């Protein structure tokens, strides 16, 4: 007859394995969505009020980046320029497109497209946010907004708020959730 210690370690092993499979599965779904939607980040959280009333702070927005569709005036894009770590969500005000020599005018292969953006709630365009660039180019675009969930991303904003004062808080919370799963796992 197996001892009580055998069941206890087996229960812990099962809980840890379940937690690891859940984390790995979530990561694989995130990366798989990015691959299908042709973007490094299939969803991001809106961190400022610059796009109100279209998007509020804390909304999660879903992104896609079709290869064969140029960006148009009015599209809402997420972009990241060199020298910044936070992606920016703003609307395209102006586009200028020109095909490189030797390319056909079908799709975006060979398309040299430049864009100017602005937040709906901002008084001026984003030229100051481009860090010395005059225009955004296709390589700066993370994706085009295709949908959103209102206020679901507020947890991320709260965690970012406390990160400066309590830099290890997210690790403590994640560790606490893992410990809780181990202790109160499958009964």
User: What is the set of active-site residues?
Assistant: 50, 90, 126
CA distances from 159 to 10, 49, 51, 127, 174 (A): 34, 18, 21, 29, 12
Query: Among all chains, which residue has been given the structure tokens 């937690």?
Result: 19
- All residues at 6 or more sequence positions from 57 whose CB lies less than 8 Å from its CB, including other chains: 46, 47, 48, 49, 154, 157
Cis peptide before 86 (omega within 30 of 0): no
Pairing between strand 43-45 and 111-118?
unpaired
CA distances from 47 to 54, 150, 153 (A): 13, 12, 9
Rg over alpha carbons for the chain, rounded to the nearest Å, is 22
The most distant pair of C-alpha atoms in the chain lies apart, rounded to whole Å, by 79
Is residue 173 within 8 A of residue 167, CB to CB? The reply is no
């Amino acid at each position: 007859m197996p001892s009580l210690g055998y069941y206890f370690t087996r229960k812990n092993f099962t809980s840890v394995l379940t937690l690891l499979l859940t984390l790995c599965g979530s990561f694989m779904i995130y990366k798989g969505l990015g691959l299908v939607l042709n973007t490094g980040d299939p969803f991001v959280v809106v961190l400022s009020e610059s796009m109100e009333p279209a998007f509020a702070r804390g909304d999660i927005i879903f992104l896609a980046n079709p290869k064969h569709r140029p960006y148009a005036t009015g599209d809402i894009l997420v972009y990241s320029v060199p020298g910044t770590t936070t992606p920016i969500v703003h609307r395209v005000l102006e586009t200028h497109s020109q095909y490189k020599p030797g390319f056909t005018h079908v799709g975006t292969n060979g398309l040299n497209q430049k864009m100017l953006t602005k937040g709906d709630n901002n008084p001026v365009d984003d030229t100051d946010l481009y860090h010395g660039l005059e225009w955004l180019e296709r390589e700066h675009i993370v994706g085009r907004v295709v949908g959103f969930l209102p206020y679901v991303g507020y947890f991320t904003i709260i965690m970012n708020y406390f990160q400066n004062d309590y830099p290890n808080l997210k690790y403590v919370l994640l560790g606490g959730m893992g410990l809780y799963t181990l202790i109160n796992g499958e009964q």
